[in-house]
Amino acid sequence: MKIGILGLPASGKTTIFNSLTRGKADIGGFGATRSANVGVAHVPDERVDVLTKMFKSKKTIYAEVTYVDLPGSASGELFEGEAMAQLQQVDAILHVARAFEDGSVPHLEGSVDYKRDIEKVAFDIMFADIALLERRIERITGSLKTMKVAERDDAEKNIETLKRLQSDLENGIAIRDRDLEASEIKAISDTFLLSSLPLLIALNIGEDDVANTAALEEEIGELLSGRSTGGAAICGALEAELVGMSEEEEAEMRAGLDAGEPGLSRMIKLSYQVLGLNSFLTVGEDETRAWTINIGALAPKAAGVIHSDIERGFIRAETVGYDDFIECGTMAEARNRGLFRQEGREYVVQDGDIVNFLFSV
Ligand SMILES: Nc1nc2c(ncn2[C@@H]2O[C@H](COP(=O)(O)OP(=O)(O)OP(=O)(O)O)[C@@H](O)[C@H]2O)c(=O)[nH]1
Ligand SMILES: [Mg+2]
């Protein structure tokens, strides 16, 4: 599961990418990123931290989200060439919108106006889909003449469906914003439509605006209509500085900023959410670990994330919810209260379940 980072030239895409993934990719702006950068972010999870302490685990392993920093283009054209090829591989889009003022970093439009840019990118995404649907409709229309009668009926229905989607896009309704009917799902099943992907906004704010984070995020929330979308404000320059520091120095700096949970953490958690992912947890002296599953995954499938043998030889899952466990304090107490349960093949693993799989191969 991957998230593609896009935005106007020099909006700070690579800077934010480096902060999210603790990476060291070259920044510079206006086409500085020629080929995509790929990196992994740890999903902050306080449950994992708490359990690590309780079980005195030697290792702590967090869930991960992969980010792809798409190649920039000086013209601001977002969906051409290598960037488009990379975009076809992602599961969600993260738009870095510039809110920071800096005279030494020019803006493509000549002024900093993030509302304008957020609307423009949202529009460009939908426009790319409109154009793609147009080409598809033309192609099917062109082949109608040579079709057999039975096929033609189907094709004409498809054209109707595609036109309906297209006209909704023209009215500002992204694919992600609608409940697709079966016929619509079928009509676009082999078409990659950008506006079907969840859209996240990272507002790249200046250092002066860190104290206004909450208000700015509320504003982005209002700008974003529809589903599977969300935003966070991140000060790219500041985060880039913090990434280079030791953990202690970083903690000290953050405490001094008094900005609460960093936008960076919120963004990574949000990313995990829009990808439709959940974490189940395993604990022990060796390691405490968060494992990634799709929401709704059954117990054997979750077991398979750890090892295919455990899925194949699945017997049952012993499990307790995180909150229940914390309330009990120990596994023994959870067992006494009947909260440490035995679950079978049909069990839907829940976010935060602490699980031990029994299996035999
Ligand atoms: N003042 C300030 N400058 C920033 C901030 N974020 C990025 N910059 C600067 O903006 C310039 C462009 O940053 P990049 O991260 O390379 O931007 P980009 O969007 O990846 O650029 P391309 O890949 O070329 O499109 C660099 O000079 C950064 O130092 C910020 O939060 N504040
Ligand atoms: Mg870049």
Task: Give yes or no: residues 158 and 173 share one domain.
Answer: yes
> What is the per-residue pLDDT across 190-248, written as a single tens digit (0 to 9) for each?
889 999 999 999 999 998 888 888 899 998 888 876 666 889 999 998 888 888 888 88
The whole-angstrom separation of Cα 5 and Cα 92 is: 9
Q: Is 106 in the pocket of ligand 1 (CB under 6 A)?
A: no
Last residue of a domain, one of 165, 195, 225: 195
Residue 103 lies in a domain: yes
Last residue of a domain, one of 178, 195, 212: 195
Task: Give yes or no: residues 332 and 241 share one domain.
Answer: no
Nearest CA to 233 among 275, 260, 201? 201
Residue 283 lies in a domain: no
Share of the chain above pLDDT 90, in %: 68
Last residue of a domain, one of 227, 244, 274: 274
Q: Is 84 in the pocket of ligand 1 (CB under 6 A)?
A: no
Task: Give yes or no: residues 254 and 308 share one domain.
Answer: no
In order of 2, 88, 136, 172, 340, the CA distances from 69 in angstroms are 11, 13, 29, 27, 43
Task: Give yes or no: residues 84 and 18 share one domain.
Answer: yes
Give, in degrees to the nearest 5, the angle at Cα 352 between 296 and 328: 135
The whole-angstrom separation of Cα 288 and Cα 60 is: 5
Q: Is 236 in the pocket of ligand 1 (CB under 6 A)?
A: yes
Per-residue confidence (pLDDT) for residue 34, from 0 to 100: 83
Which ligand minimizes its atom distance to the CA of 16?
A: 1
Per-residue confidence (pLDDT) for residue 324, from 0 to 100: 97
Residue 50 lies in a domain: no
Q: Is 14 in the pocket of ligand 1 (CB under 6 A)?
A: yes
Residue 32 CA, chain-centre distance (Å), reads 24
Looking at the structure of the chain, the number of domains it has is 3
pLDDT band for 21, please (50, 70, 90 cuts).
very high
Task: Give yes or no: residues 10 and 85 share one domain.
Answer: yes
CATH (domain of 311)? 3.10.20.30
Residue 229 CA, chain-centre distance (Å), reads 10
The whole-angstrom separation of Cα 276 and Cα 274 is: 5
Say which residue the tokens 């999870």 belong to: 45
Per DSSP, 29 falls in state S
- Considering only CA atoms, which residue is closest to atom 30 of ligand 1? 237
Residue 308 lies in a domain: yes
Cβ-proximal residues to 136 (8 Å cutoff; 6+ apart), any chain: 162, 191
Give, in degrees to the nearest 5, the angle at Cα 297 between 296 and 300: 150
Q: Which residue has the higher pLDDT, 241 or 41?
A: 41
Per-residue confidence (pLDDT) for residue 258, from 0 to 100: 64
Per-residue confidence (pLDDT) for residue 227, from 0 to 100: 62
In order of 96, 160, 296, the CA distances from 135 in angstroms are 29, 14, 36
Task: Give yes or no: residues 86 and 233 share one domain.
Answer: yes
Q: Which residue has the higher pLDDT, 295 or 108?
A: 295
- CA 297–ligand 1 middle distance (angstroms): 39
Task: Give yes or no: residues 82 and 211 share one domain.
Answer: yes
Mean pLDDT of 132-140: 94
Mean pLDDT of 171-197: 91
The whole-angstrom separation of Cα 245 and Cα 250 is: 6
Residues, beta carbon < 5 Å, ion ligand 2: 13-14, 33, 72
Residue 281 lies in a domain: no
DSSP 91-160: SEEEEEEE----TTS--TTSS--HHHHHHHHHHHHHHHHHHHHHHHHHHHHHHSTTS-HHHHHHHHHHHH
Determine which of 29-38, 153-162, 163-172 has the lowest per-residue pLDDT on average.
29-38
pLDDT band for 23, please (50, 70, 90 cuts).
confident
Task: Give yes or no: residues 243 and 106 share one domain.
Answer: yes
CATH (domain of 171)? 1.10.150.300
Per-residue confidence (pLDDT) for residue 11, from 0 to 100: 93
Q: Is the separation of the CB atoms in 3 and 200 below 8 Å?
A: yes
Task: Give yes or no: residues 136 and 105 share one domain.
Answer: no
Range of the domain at 134: 123-195
- Considering only CA atoms, which residue is closest to atom 32 of ligand 1? 237
With H, G, I as helix, E, B as strand and everything else as coil, classify residue 353: strand
